[in-house]
């Protein structure tokens, strides 16, 4: 894998009071050799792989479970993806769907940090049997 460039996407959980502006200002102070671009959901950061590893550790130490991150294939401001240059955003639908789920993940990570771990196997959801459906219909007739 390429070690020269690493572009990261930092996304703020909707439950956080942190704003993209605050995040960008703090990320600027954390890594001197990274480029940062503010976005509607957080920011994009670009730098060397080693620099990015240090930066992500600092971001996680400071914001714990409020900021989530993943890699991004395209560089910052790439005309094929950048909104300012009318680039397409084929991954945005999924990003938006995951953004909506972040409060659940954030609260789960907070619970685990408090020592509240729950590894029960999930309850399998079964369709309502006809008899049960009949009983409900009879009750509300």
Partner 1 sequence: MKVFIDPPNSMILFDLVERFGHEPLSAMAVIQEKVDNIEVDMPPMNITLEDVIKGLKYAGVEVPSGIRGRLSVWGPMIESADAAVVIDNAPFAFGCVGCDRSNEMVKYLIKRRGIPSLTVGYPTTADEAKVMVSRIKEFLGGLKQ
Q: Which is nearer to partner 1, 32 or 122 (CB)?
A: 122
Angle at 8 between CA 31 and CA 65, to 5 degrees: 85
CB of 44 to partner 1, least distance (A): 12
Q: Would you state the structure tokens that stand for residue 5, as one six-digit string?
A: 């460039």
- How far is residue 111 CA from its own chain's centroid? 18
- CA gap 99, 95 in Å, rounded: 6
Q: Point out which span in 6-14, 15-23, 28-36, 133-141 binds partner 1 (CB under 8 A).
A: 6-14
CB 81 within 8 A of CB 74: yes
CB of 129 to partner 1, least distance (A): 22
CB of 106 to partner 1, least distance (A): 9
Which letter does DSSP use for residue 104 in this model?
H
Place of tokens 């006809």: 130
Indicate whether 138 belongs to the interface with partner 1 (CB under 8 A).
no
Indicate whether 63 belongs to the interface with partner 1 (CB under 8 A).
no
Candidates 84, 97, 128, 139: give the one binding partner 1 (CB under 8 A). 97
């Amino acid at each position: 894998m390429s070690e020269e460039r690493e572009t990261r996407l930092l996304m703020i959980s909707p439950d956080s009071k942190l704003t993209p502006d605050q995040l960008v200002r703090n990320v600027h102070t954390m890594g001197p050799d990274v480029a940062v671009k503010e976005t509607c959901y957080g920011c994009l950061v670009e730098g060397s792989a080693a620099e990015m590893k240090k930066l992500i550790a600092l971001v996680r130490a400071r914001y714990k479970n409020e900021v989530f991150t993943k890699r991004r294939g395209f560089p910052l401001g790439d005309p094929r993806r950048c909104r300012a240059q009318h680039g397409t955003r084929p991954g945005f639908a999924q990003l938006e769907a995951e953004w909506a789920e972040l409060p659940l993940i954030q609260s789960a990570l907070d619970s685990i940090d408090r020592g509240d771990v729950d590894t029960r196997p999930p309850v399998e959801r079964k369709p309502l049997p006809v008899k049960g459906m009949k009983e409900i219909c009879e009750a509300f007739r």
